Copies of this chain bind each other. A is one copy, B any other.
Amino acid sequence: MGQWLEGKPVADKIREGIKAEVAGCRASTGKAPGLVGVLVGDNPASQSYLRMKEKACQSLGLVGRIETYPADIARLDLKARLMALNADDQVDGILVQLPLPKGHDTQDVISWIDPAKDVDGIHPISLGLLVQNQPCLSACTPRGCLELIRSTGTAIEGQNVVVIGRSLIVGKPLSLMVTNENGTVTICHSKTRDLAGVCAKADILIAAMGKPGFVGPEFVKEGAVVIDVGSNAVGDKELVRRLFGPDAKREGEIDAKGYTWVGDVRPEVIHKAAWLTPSPGGVGPLTIAMLMRNTLDAFKRRRGL
Contacts and interface: CB of A to CB of B under 8 A. Distances in A.
Overall SS of chain A's interface: mixed
A191 B127 contact: no
A107 B131 contact: no
A193 B184 contact: yes
Contacts of A183: 191
A192 B181 CA distance: 11
Contacts of A132: 107, 124, 127, 168
Given A179-B189, A191-B184, A128 B134 contact: no
Interface residues on A, range: 35 or more
A182 B176 contact: no
Closest 8 CB pairs of A and B: A124-B128, A128-B128, A127-B128, A186-B186, A182-B191, A127-B131, A184-B192, A158-B191
B131 A168 contact: yes
Interface in A104-124: 107, 123-124
Interface of A: 107, 123-132, 134, 157-160, 166, 168, 172-173, 175-176, 179, 182-189, 191-193, 198
Q: How many copies does the complex hold?
A: 2
Contacts of A172: 131, 176, 179
Given A107-B134, A185-B186, A193 B127 contact: no
Contact of A125 (B125, B157, B168): B125
Contacts of A186: 184-186
Contacts of A124: 124-125, 128-129, 131-132, 134
